[in-house]
Amino acid sequence: MQLKKPLLTLLVLLFLCSITNAETVMRVYCNRGEPCRTYPVADIVKLTFELDTCLTVEDLEKLENITKCFKLRCNYPNPFNPSTTIDYEVSQPGMLEIRIYDVLGRELATLLSERKEPGNYQAVWDGRTSASQKVAAGVYFYRLSLDGVSDTKKMLLVK
């Protein structure tokens, strides 16, 4: 069974989104598979496109699994001082990592790097690097990755 493009719009948009320099962007690819242009997702008002191939139900199920393997929730409190809690839900077992980045994309801390089973979890960040140094007030990003699939959110540390 083959499904046409109207059902794929949202799934393909989620699949094409990635994090570049701590900003969620969508890359548009040209005929030969080379990136033509990158758009900040926050600036996209309407998305209309046509696919030149059809996807099978199995392809759609693979895309759906990518978006359903975990849920990363907003941290609280946000803004925060001195610490914040990050809630997340894992719906399939796998190797999970939570890392903290600054606005330049430098990794500051790894909060977690271990195998997790399905369930609801929390991680706490105390505003320190992996070397236990306090970071300055500002915008930071936390990224949850599960078996190669990741999501990133923004948080604000105030002093």
Confidence band for 86, pLDDT divided at 50, 70 and 90: very high
Spell out the long-range contacts of 111-116 with Cβ–Cβ below 8 A and sequence spacing 24 or more. 111/86, 111/142, 116/90, 116/146
Give the residue carrying structure tokens 């069974």. 1
Task: Specify the CATH number of the domain 70-157.
Answer: 2.60.40.4070
CATH 2.60.40.4070 positions along the chain are 70-157
Residue 55 and residue 3: Cα distance in Å, rounded? Answer: 6
96-105 mean pLDDT: 95
pLDDT computed for residue 52 by the predictor: 56
Q: CA 126, CA 131: separation in Å to the nearest integer?
A: 12
pTM: 0.60
pLDDT at 143 over 70: yes
Q: What is the pLDDT of residues 3-54, one digit of tens each?
A: 444 433 333 434 344 444 445 556 665 555 565 667 666 666 655 555 556 6
pLDDT for the residue 43: 65
Question: Which SS3 state, helix, strand or coil, does residue 61 take?
Answer: helix
Q: Which 3-state string (H, E, C) describes 9-57? A: HHHHHHHHEEEECCEEEEEEECCCCCEEEEEEHHHCCCCCCCCCCCEEH
